[in-house]
Structure 1
């Protein structure tokens, strides 16, 4: 593997300058890193069209949806160049013909390169996506290859296309240049001999292709029929090591981490269940409490993820688990990511146990002076049975008498060190229950939260009305305005959310401020509040509190409304520029309404021209309220790395080519193989598995093990 560990700067065509760009943009430092940077798609270049054929293959109406426009390959000559505009507005144009018609070529950047390399009268092979400008087909920044006279149609096969970030583009890197460097890397491997990263017996048993063949074909397939087996080998290997690491860690954890043994179901739990529970538990809640109860009574530390869609009753489950801890003479705490959420948890739980002799307290950064000192004293003596708060719970001044259970709400908001600090409040780690309203498909949850057991609340309480979701375009808002007016006159409240993209914060803020003025003009009899990311936290909290207490009837926001914020009177969620949100984000926003007894509505507002994928995304929102179904569709459309940023940051090591949802069947297969390896080699010393344990350690070394995070 020495070739793979070679510094990338010594590869032909790289050098120190390009090496820095590759490292900063794609994290490529070695030849191995380069070979494991895969194309995200391939273009079939076996067909060369005439311009006349292109017009029938890509008619004008097909150019309306950018994502549907195919790559077209032409062969012809540049017959004219023109230079237009000055300064930043300067651009180059060329006329290209093959004798059957004319197209326009245009460049907005890299103009010196264009003038030096492309000349009138020469013949070129052109590749690009056509567009229509002033009734003429045009290509922006096409790929051009000079062709000598006498050239005939070659079988160019499949061309790999690599993702090129902005930094690389600025350094004049293209997908084609990256492909050339990868070619150079393969030239370093003598006779195609590459040390295997899987043992021979696993390769034979699972009918896998060799590593060199798989890598070579993944980058440079001759025909599309070669790809499936090559990609199968590479994906299987990634998923095998992913599952092996998870199983390996879980095996070690079960034997290493002792937990408090909660053997009793006592007076507090039974009294609450029999006398004070305001409604019957759903079947899902009963099942989950039983799963948690089994963990708490096992003698090992519980690490469980509780997933539940908005309104599925996670708080009740958390409270009943806290009561089990209290019945066994321990304290419990609930940690939320923001003061508003902590206050809402406190108000809800305080209300639920108001007739029980339980000391419940709230500790946030806002609690100061004598009140804070009294709470800290009561926590340290054990008088406080349930402490609810924010990051304030992990400050050094907070000393629990005997913390037995920690409930962490919206886990991805807390860093590794913060969770570790909570554990260090005891000489033995408390049981951990992580709650999230972000729906994650079970397959992905088992991977991202690999060392956590997963419980799912997949049932809403009876009587809850499903939210009605509709899609309007910006050129037809009359119905929206009428609908909002009707709801406001009924005494309801309305959220209006604008997207916030870091690259254009000023524009987004302007959108929201203009929007707030516009909505105030449309609804002069009602008060409109505004929340945006550039406000100080005190002002933001004040605006949120005004909405919570119905002092403002409409809330315009550039930021995602806090997950968990509970305003039962809010019955309408309007999402502007909905096409700029992912499915999971849209579902989270929709979950801010539908918390009261009245019918609630979610309105998705977008521009009229949408790509096929975007239109499908918005239609899925209109068709279903099921968070798990939406999460799965989101991953199919966008991949796991975009799922609220959770998946990719949570992986034990980066997945370069596999997708944990789309390759679900292969992941199950890889998991079974990993289980068998662990079963047959529990001591990790069988000679045939030496390469397995060596490769696993190498992968873990290259990325910190995720199992430390929870």
Structure 2
């Protein structure tokens, strides 16, 4: 149960002033629907309205608050000309300028002969001091309605800053303070405020310094969010470690057959990763390992050899992939090697229905299948293994804790779980996302892989690029053409892709195919299969081809509006080419006007193919925001942490979480009870549920 002190934090925002059914949707899209969501929606800047000179001294371009008397209204008879209101103090006149004005409203707000406080941006126009559309016009007795320092928040259509600000301040006043979960010695050393004081400081700042990532309030809140995350991970790890694994010791005979069937020898990194995984299998502790390997670094072969070792020890294995395309691809890579080694493998996806499904489930339960490859279909209730001992989760960050536990639940005795990812994750983020997981990294490319020639080309040369591809295709090449990300809307993405498809079809005729996210699975697979077989030469797509498409014959990748993509995404897309022995190229088309960050991103892409270096740079360039496009990658989203600025707090949180679990693993002590509030507040309560389920 969520602690009672948190009820007000999770109360619906409609109870706050100014929020009704209509703007609730806008706020939900922006931040969420609970009071805590608004409190964690931090300001990005502020307007200081404390500058209050006489009218004659007001500096052009400044934001000023001026005390004046309203002298006269000068409406305009021409609808295009502005409505003016003349005001003055003892030093000069001030003209207020309004376009598309409502005269009755302005006369009510600014009665002639009365004093008003006017706040807004000062302009000097033909020796006159003027303010166009003032931000505030209040009577002196209502001076409290004019904020001296006004916070600026990220907004969305249909929502004004004033409404949001008012709701947030009311939200702050509606919630109680919570028991302190940080260690007293740390609080004293850092001089941190309480959590509620920190939120107050940020939503009612006294100057720009309060909002800086290095401020005490910001660091305190970042430490809260990181500790919640690290503690939840530490609990999961502790519970997993306490479940005994099984010592799975093979004799190497199946592995030898696989190695004999390979046409190449393993790289040093592959050998190291394999020996680390096998050492985990042979130990009696449960495995907690993540294998990171760049696109095309040969993770699947290492995974197969590790599964062979488990099969030698007499257990079954599962390989769980996030998409059918990826599951099918693993099957294709693994089948010839598995057959050579006498391993029995099968595929189970959402598309396996009726008799075909039964033909997998029955031998699986009878122990006649050694390795089952599949999607979420693997964790459904009726899927029974005779003795599951080793599970590999590919693109691990796309699966939640519940799904991982469901897979582990398929085992009668302990199961070893290996996570695998082709998304290079910087070390700081590996810590944040996976806590203390043991990590094996495969950095080397398999022998024979040529570097991909990456070029940045201005979009106005798109016709030259298309004719270059036409020449390459006539000579037998195959190319991907990835269309841009258009805002948040998949519909617009698809429209852009369909438009590009139509224009290329005019050039290439029927040898062009199109795939996008709204196509049904079978449709998408059919087009992919045509591309794989070489029946079509150019594949136009949205970013659905980002992970796991393997067509070694494809040697050209064009990414339109490359400046709109994150570095990790560009790197993943580029990894679709350069998989065969032919020379490959990647063309990044960009608009003429691009910002500094986008320019730096494209420069890194041109200079490096090292996914881990690229991931570190991505983190540096983006700061704490949507790292790796966390929305797409399923890594936990952080609202209060700036990874570039708060890196030192990650280690701090990890060490503290470890200490807490060692001292009070059930969180029953006084600090433990406070930490339960923290886990619930940051919705990391699967940690608490796991403690209760044991």
Partner of 1:548: 532
1:354-409 deviations in Å (ceiling 9; x for gaps):
43222233344556676655444433333322232334434555432222222222
Q: Does the CA contact (< 8 Å) of 1:198 and 1:691 recur in 2?
A: no
Partner of 1:699: 681
210, 234, 239: which one aligns with 2:226: 239
Partner of 2:650: 667
Partner of 1:617: 601
Q: Does 1:125 align with 2:135?
A: no
**Residues 220/334 of structure 1: CA separation in 2 closer, same or farther (3 Å cut):** same
SS of 1:422's equivalent in the other structure is helix
557, 569, 573: which one aligns with 1:573: 557
509, 514, 530: which one aligns with 1:530: 514
Q: Does the CA contact (< 8 Å) of 1:334 and 1:408 recur in 2?
A: yes
For 2:294 and 2:154, locate their aligned partners in 1 and report how far apart those are by CA, in whole Å. 34
**Residues 373/144 of structure 1: CA separation in 2 closer, same or farther (3 Å cut):** closer
392, 406, 412: which one aligns with 1:407: 392
For 1:216 and 1:594, locate their aligned partners in 2 and report how far apart those are by CA, in whole Å. 53
Aligned length, in residue pairs:
662
Partner of 1:230: 217
41, 44, 67: which one aligns with 1:40: 44
**Residues 522/684 of structure 1: CA separation in 2 closer, same or farther (3 Å cut):** closer
Q: Does 1:260 align with 2:246?
A: yes
**Residues 509/643 of structure 1: CA separation in 2 closer, same or farther (3 Å cut):** same
Partner of 1:306: 291
Aligned-pair CA distance for 1:328: 0.1
SS of 2:552's equivalent in the other structure is coil
Aligned-pair CA distance for 1:638: 6.2
For 1:113 and 1:665, locate their aligned partners in 2 and report how far apart those are by CA, in whole Å. 57
Partner of 1:361: 346
Q: Does the CA contact (< 8 Å) of 1:684 and 1:693 recur in 2?
A: yes
Q: Does the CA contact (< 8 Å) of 1:42 and 1:160 recur in 2?
A: yes
Give ranges in structure 2 of 5+ residues lacking alignment.
124-129
**Residues 425/464 of structure 1: CA separation in 2 closer, same or farther (3 Å cut):** same
**Residues 511/681 of structure 1: CA separation in 2 closer, same or farther (3 Å cut):** closer
Aligned-pair CA distance for 1:549: 0.4
TM-score by length of 1: 0.79
**Residues 409/250 of structure 1: CA separation in 2 closer, same or farther (3 Å cut):** closer
Partner of 1:474: 459
Aligned-pair CA distance for 1:546: 0.5
SS of 1:472's equivalent in the other structure is strand
SS of 1:556's equivalent in the other structure is strand
SS of 1:361's equivalent in the other structure is strand
**Residues 453/79 of structure 1: CA separation in 2 closer, same or farther (3 Å cut):** farther
1:48-104 deviations in Å (ceiling 9; x for gaps):
99999999x8xxxxxxxxxxxxxx63679998777999xxxxx99667999999998
For 1:642 and 1:367, locate their aligned partners in 2 and report how far apart those are by CA, in whole Å. 35
TM-score by length of 2: 0.80
Partner of 1:383: 368
For 2:174 and 2:352, locate their aligned partners in 1 and report how far apart those are by CA, in whole Å. 64
63, 85, 102: which one aligns with 1:73: 63
Alignment of 1:598-617 (within 5 A): 598-617=582-601
Aligned-pair CA distance for 1:111: 8.3
156, 160, 167: which one aligns with 2:151: 160
SS of 2:570's equivalent in the other structure is helix
Partner of 1:88: none
Stretch moving more, 321-330 or 618-627: 618-627
Partner of 1:657: 640
1:485-516 deviations in Å (ceiling 9; x for gaps):
34223321011111355865554433323322
For 2:81 and 2:572, locate their aligned partners in 1 and report how far apart those are by CA, in whole Å. 46
Q: Does 1:346 align with 2:322?
A: no
**Residues 251/503 of structure 1: CA separation in 2 closer, same or farther (3 Å cut):** closer
Q: Does the CA contact (< 8 Å) of 2:49 and 2:64 recur in 1?
A: no
For 1:52 and 1:354, locate their aligned partners in 2 and report how far apart those are by CA, in whole Å. 86
SS of 2:340's equivalent in the other structure is coil
For 2:491 and 2:78, locate their aligned partners in 1 and report how far apart those are by CA, in whole Å. 31
Partner of 1:591: 575
Q: Does the CA contact (< 8 Å) of 1:22 and 1:28 recur in 2?
A: no
1:314-333 deviations in Å (ceiling 9; x for gaps):
10111011111111011222
1:221-264 deviations in Å (ceiling 9; x for gaps):
32344551222222223323332332233223311x22222123
For 1:310 and 1:580, locate their aligned partners in 2 and report how far apart those are by CA, in whole Å. 21
Aligned-pair CA distance for 1:212: 5.1
Aligned-pair CA distance for 1:568: 0.8
Q: Does the CA contact (< 8 Å) of 2:318 and 2:392 recur in 1?
A: yes
